[in-house]
Amino acid sequence: MSVHHCKNQTSFIHISIFSVILLIIGGCNSTSSTSLQAISNIETSSNNCPDKPSGALENQNVKTIDISSQTVTETGQVKAGQYLGYAFTAKSGDKLNYQTNDNICVWVYSPDNRIIPTTDLTQDGKYIVQVSVPRGATTFALNMGLENNDNANSIVSDSPTSVTPAASQTTISNTGDNSRTSPTTTIERYYQHLNSSNYRNAWNTLSDSLRSNRQEHPQGYSSYLEWWEQVKYIDTQKLGTKTNNDSAYVTVKCGYNLASGRKIYATVRYYLEWNSSISDWEIMRVTKIS
């Protein structure tokens, strides 16, 4: 089951044919606490998840679950070449939310047995979430929930075993100003700019200090543009938000679909500050969580 989220959804800067990738403020940084530094040791294609499974999912390995009114956590063990499935019923207009902290591959099949590249569900019927691992074997925990007009179940925590139903994201807020745009909206708009190739608008979402950071953007906007033009689209899944007065952070799980056909995954945290002069949030730095 495949759900890829990030260009026409995520952003990086490359140095020497993907062996080292600089995350030019779009989303994935290295282990440093500063926003966008070199990401080295990127997994080879053999360690990444393919666009579709190479083997078949056996009926006896499919478990039926009900996520229409609650968030469900499924755990299991899986190895390369083996597939587990979770079947659920949904309606057109529902949105699937899922989260895992484990290195597994996830594909989502629609009722007509097609892999869908989004968590937005457009048909009535039975969907299947298919799980495997890119190499080796692992145990995993996978949280799944549905958003619809009647509820808003979602995966909201950095921990796969901690789930808050009835919320589309973990939000701790103390701004005292309900008229402000939420930091989540700013990040959603940022990815929309990237996925529609509005790179200048995305660039302008960054703070002046981040745009002028030569460690992150050695050639300024041209470095930023050089990376993003290599990203075909970005799959995103929001994991959580915390807001405290004029500061906030938003955590996003990203799948960077490169024009070369490769896909890179990362969990990224955006740190934002409220700019009263433009009445909007600005991205101050970006940190790669995993």
How large is the C-alpha radius of gyration of the chain? 19
Rounded Cα–Cα distance for residues 86 and 130 (Å) = 7
What is the pLDDT at residue 177? 57
Mean pLDDT of 99-115: 89
Query: pLDDT, tens digit, for every residue of 158-205?
Result: 333 333 333 334 444 454 556 788 999 999 999 999 999 999 999 999
Q: Is 105 exposed, middle or buried (0-12, 13-18, 19+ CB in 10 A)?
A: buried
Average per-residue pLDDT in the chain? 76
Query: pLDDT, tens digit, for every residue of 39-86?
Result: 323 333 334 788 889 888 999 999 999 998 888 889 999 998 999 999
Give the global pTM. 0.47
Domains of the chain: 1-290 (2.60.120.380)
Of 86, 73, 76, residue with least CA distance to 137: 76
Strand order from edge to edge, sheet including 62-64: 62-64, 84-90, 125-132, 105-109
Between 30 and 285, residue with greater pLDDT = 285
Return the structure tokens found at 74: 């499924």
Q: Is 179 exposed, middle or buried (0-12, 13-18, 19+ CB in 10 A)?
A: exposed
Between 206 and 101, residue with greater pLDDT = 206
Q: Is residue 271 within 8 Å of residue 284, measured between CB atoms?
A: yes
Task: Give the residue carrying structure tokens 């083996």.
Answer: 82
Please tell me whether residue 133 adopts helix, strand or coil conformation: coil
Q: Is 222 exposed, middle or buried (0-12, 13-18, 19+ CB in 10 A)?
A: exposed
Q: Is residue 216 within 8 Å of residue 287, measured between CB atoms?
A: no
Query: pLDDT, tens digit, for every residue of 251-260?
Result: 998 888 888 8
Q: Are strands 84-90 and 62-64 parallel, antiparallel or unpaired?
A: parallel
Return the structure tokens found at 201: 């608008």
Q: Is 136 exposed, middle or buried (0-12, 13-18, 19+ CB in 10 A)?
A: exposed
pLDDT at 29 over 50: no
Return the structure tokens found at 133: 């691992």
